[in-house]
Amino acid sequence: MKFTDIFIKKPVLSIVVSLVILFLGLRSITELGVRQFPKTEDTLITVQTAYPGASAEVVQGFITTPLERAIASAEGIDYMTSSSSEGVSTINVYMKLNYNPNAALSEVLAQVNSVLNQLPKQAQLPVITKTSVTNVAYLYLAFTSNGMSSSQMTDYINRVIVPQIQAVNGVGQVMVYGNKTFAMRVWLNPTKMAEFNITPLQAQQALASNNYISATGYTKSPYIQINISTATDLHTVDEFKNLVVANYNGTLIRLKDIAKVKLGSINYSATNIFNDKEAIVLGIFTTPTANPLTVVDNIDKILPSMKTQLPTAMNMKVAYDRTTYIKTSIDEVVKTVLETLIVVIAVIFLFLGSYRSVIIPVIAIPLSIVGGMFMMFLLGYTINLLTLLAMVLAIGLVVDDAIIVVENVDRHISEGKSRLEASLLAARELGVPILAMSITLVAVFLPIGFMSGLTGALFKEFAFTLAGDVIISGIVALTLSPMLSSKFLKEETIKKGFVHFLDKQFDGVRKLYTKILKVVFDSKPVVVFVIIVVLTSAYFLFITSKSELAPTEDQGAIFVQGTGAPTATLNDLEHSAKQIEHVYKTFPELQQYFMELGFGSSNNALISGFMLKPWNERKKTQMEILPYLQEKLSTVPGLQIVAFPLPSLPGSQGLPVQFVIMTTSSYEQLYQVSNELIAQAMKSGLFAYIDSDLKYDQPQIDISIDRSKALSMDINMQTLGDSLSTLLSENYINWFSMQGYSYKVIPQVLDKYRFDQNSLKKYYIAASNGQLVPLSSIITLKTTTVPEALNRFNQQNSATISATMKPGVTLGQALNYLENLSKKIFPQGYTYNFSGQSRQFVQEGSSMLITFIFALVIIYLVLAALFESFIDPLIILISVPMSITGALIFLSLGFATVNIYTEVGLVTLIGLVSKHGILIVKFANDLQDQGIPKKEAIEQSAQIRLRPILMTTAAMVFGVVPLLLATGAGAASRFDIGLVIASGLGIGTFLTIFIVPTVYLLIGKDISKAK
Average pLDDT of the residues of the chain: 87
Residues forming a β-bridge with 140: 283, 320
Per-residue pLDDT at 407 exceeds 80: no
Give dist(CA 728, CA 726) in Å, integer: 6
pTM for the predicted model, two decimal places: 0.85
Strands (E), 372-495: none
Per-residue confidence (pLDDT) for residue 140, from 0 to 100:
93
3-state secondary structure of 646: coil
Model confidence pLDDT, tens digit, residues 469-515: 888 888 888 888 888 888 877 766 555 566 677 778 778 888 898 88
3-state secondary structure of 335: helix
Smallest CA-to-CA distance from 186 within 738, 732, 765 is with 732
- CB half-sphere exposure, 130, CA atoms < 13 A: 21
Cα angle 954, 960, 961; round to 5? 90
Backbone angles phi, psi at 562, to 5 degrees: -125, 135
The helix/strand/coil state of 943 is helix
In sequence order, the 6+-apart residues with CB closer than 8 A to the CB of 593 are 274, 275, 581, 584, 608, 609, 610, 611
Q: Across the strands, what pairs with 705?
A: 779
Q: Which domains does the chain have, with CATH numbers?
A: 1-31+353-493 (1.20.1640.10), 43-182+268-323 (3.30.70.1320), 502-544+869-1010 (1.20.1640.10), 556-645 (3.30.70.1430)
Please state the rounded mean pLDDT for residues 823-841. Answer: 92
Three-state secondary-structure class, residue 222: coil
Task: Give residue-wise pLDDT tens across range 690-749.
Answer: 999 898 888 888 889 988 888 888 888 888 888 888 888 888 899 999 988 999 999 999
pLDDT of the residue at 1009: 63
Between the alpha carbon of residue 4 and those of residues 7, 425, 429, 479, the distances in Å are: 6, 10, 10, 6
Q: Is the pLDDT of residue 183 over 60?
A: yes
Number of Cβ within 10 Å of residue 5's Cβ equals: 14
Which amino acid appears at position 1011 of this protein? K
DSSP state for residue 288 in the 8-state scheme: T
CA angle, 659 then 660 then 664, to 5°: 155
CA 867 to chain centre: 44
Distance separating alpha carbons of residues 398 and 389, to the nearest angstrom = 14
Calculate mean pLDDT across residues 785-809.
Answer: 91
> Is residue 1 scored above 80 in pLDDT?
no
So what's the pLDDT on residue 559? 92
CA–CA separation, 169 vs 296, rounded Å?
A: 10
Q: What is the mean pLDDT of residues 280-307?
A: 90
Band of the pLDDT at 1010, cuts 50, 70, 90? low
Q: How deeply is 845 buried, as exposed, middle or buried, from its count of CB atoms within 10 A (0-12, 13-18, 19+)?
A: exposed
**Confidence at 337, pLDDT banded by 50, 70, 90:** confident
Range with the lowest mean pLDDT among 144-153, 493-502, 612-621, 783-792? Answer: 493-502
Cβ-based neighbour number of residue 369 at 10 Å: 23
Tell me if residue 638 falls in helix, strand or coil.
Answer: coil
In whole angstroms, give the CA distance from residue 908 to residue 916: 14
Q: What is the 3-state secondary structure (H, E, C) of 553-614?
A: CCCCEEEEEEECCCCCCHHHHHHHHHHHHHHHCCCCCEEEEEEEEEECCCCCEEEEEEEECC
**Contact at 8 Å (CB) between 958 and 395?**
no
Over residues 365-391, the mean pLDDT reads: 87
Task: Please report, as a single letter, which amino acid is at residue 871.
Answer: I
Do 143 and 157 contact (CB within 8 A), yes or no? Answer: yes
Dmax (CA) for the chain in angstroms is: 127
Mean pLDDT value across residues 779-792 = 88
Q: How confident is the model at residue 332 (pLDDT cuts 50, 70, 90)?
A: confident
Please tell me the distance from the alpha carbon of residue 51 to that of residue 157, in angstroms, as a whole number.
27
Nearest CA-CA partner of 645 in 800, 805, 517, 778: 805
Contact 693, 789 (CB under 8 A): yes
pLDDT band at 601 (very low <50, low <70, confident <90, very high): low
Give the Cα separation of 12 and 131 in Å (integer). Answer: 55
Nearest to residue 548, comparing CAs of 819, 903, 889, 884? Answer: 903
Helix or strand or coil: residue 306?
helix
Indicate the SS3 state at residue 802: strand
CB–CB of 657/802 below 8 Å? yes
Distance CA 627, CA 644 (A): 9
Could you give the CA distance from residue 435 to residue 571 in angstroms, rounded to a whole number?
A: 72
- Report the distance separating Cα 896 and Cα 547, nearest Å: 9
The predicted-structure confidence for 103-137, as pLDDT tens digits, reads as follows: 999 999 999 999 999 999 888 999 998 888 877 88
For residue 88, what are the CA distances in angstroms to 50, 125, 508, 729, 788? 4, 11, 79, 12, 12
Banded pLDDT at 826 (limits 50, 70, 90): very high
Q: Which helix (H) or strand (E) holds 896?
A: none
**The dihedral sign for the CA sequence 101, 107, 109, 112:** negative
The span from the first CA to the last CA of the chain, in angstroms, equals 23
**Cα–Cα distances in angstroms (integers) from residue 414 to residues 149, 432, 437, 513, in the given order:** 85, 23, 26, 21
349 near 403, Cβ under 8 Å? Answer: no
User: What is the rounded CA–CA span in Å between residue 11 and residue 486?
Assistant: 10
Distance CA 429, CA 413 (A): 14
Report whether 426 contacts 485 (CB < 8 A): yes
Q: Which has the closest alpha carbon to 44: 128, 132, 104, 103?
A: 132
- The answer to whether the CB of 371 falls within 8 A of the CB of 471 is no
| For helices 419-449 and 847-867, angle between their N-to-C axes, nearest 10 degrees | 150
pLDDT at 904 over 90: no
Share of residues in the chain with pLDDT > 70 (%): 98
Phi, psi of 207 (to 5 degrees): -65, -40
Q: What is the pLDDT of residue 496?
A: 58
Instruction: In whole angstroms, give the CA distance from residue 866 to residue 440.
Output: 10
Cβ(722)–Cβ(714) below 8 Å:
no
pLDDT surpassing 90 at residue 661: yes
Task: Band the pLDDT of 187: cuts 50, 70, 90.
Answer: very high
Q: Do residues 1001 and 524 lie in contact, with contact meaning Cβ atoms separated by under 8 Å?
A: yes
Phi, psi (rounded to 5 degrees) for 347: -65, -45
Across the range 424-428, mean pLDDT stands at 82
